[in-house]
Amino acid sequence: MTPAEIVERALAEDVGTGDVTTSLCVPADRQASGVFRVRERVVVAGVELLPLIYEHIDFQVADGTVLETGQEIARVHGSARTLLTRERVALNFLQHLSGIATMAHKYVDAVAGTGCRILDTRKTTPGLRQLEKAAARAGGVTNHRMGLFDAILIKNNHITAAGGVRAALDAVKHSKLPVEIEVRTRAELDDALAGGATHLLLDNLTPAEAREWIRHINHRATVELSGGITLQTVRAYAETGADFISVGAITHSAPAVDIHFRLELD
């Protein structure tokens, strides 16, 4: 689904047969401007949707811009009725997507200088993955695979269904897509390395365990860590020597940020 289609659906859901409050209270010929402003420190995302919501954009910052309390994201202009009718949809996108970008930025800052990169995941809102991954990218993380179609990630249930680590790796060895495999035990780890794995996912280890496993891997494969890693623990995991850390919370648990809209009559 394209961003334009997502916006169209959101407007149809909210406006329905018409904005009865605005049509009754606001004269049809009244013109106005509107300002979107942040009420806290925010990394902005979702701004590229505003031209799909409003016809006249007088000013807007770029996605990924860091704004301090009180600074403006954008100014829009046009019919007062249109500005008001579309206010909530615009705010919903800006607050949610900027929340993701802001959370992403915090994780990236937390591992600065370690050489470890933060990845997002597929734990996204159904139908909004493209927008949420763009927001995560605006916050500085590296996008993991977009879906089930653009990379191979062999997880524990795939290994079980395939009949083991080596069987799973043998089944995908002729694919031209990137291949990553999750290992849960040292035996699986050695099996994966012997089978030619070049990208390993280590899940639910402590930082001490991760450091030991990464030392054993000894640069024979790139390493991604995942599993309940928080802002409080991510630095310790990054310092184990991991190449990547994937964090589902960036998209599935980022709180909406405080952004408001104020109308100014011409």
Active site residues: 88, 123, 155, 182, 203
Distance CA 42, CA 103 (A): 9
What is the rounded distance in angstroms from the CA atom of residue 8 to the CA atom of residue 81?
A: 18
Tokens coding 233: 């623990």
**Residue 236: other Cβ atoms inside 10 A:** 16
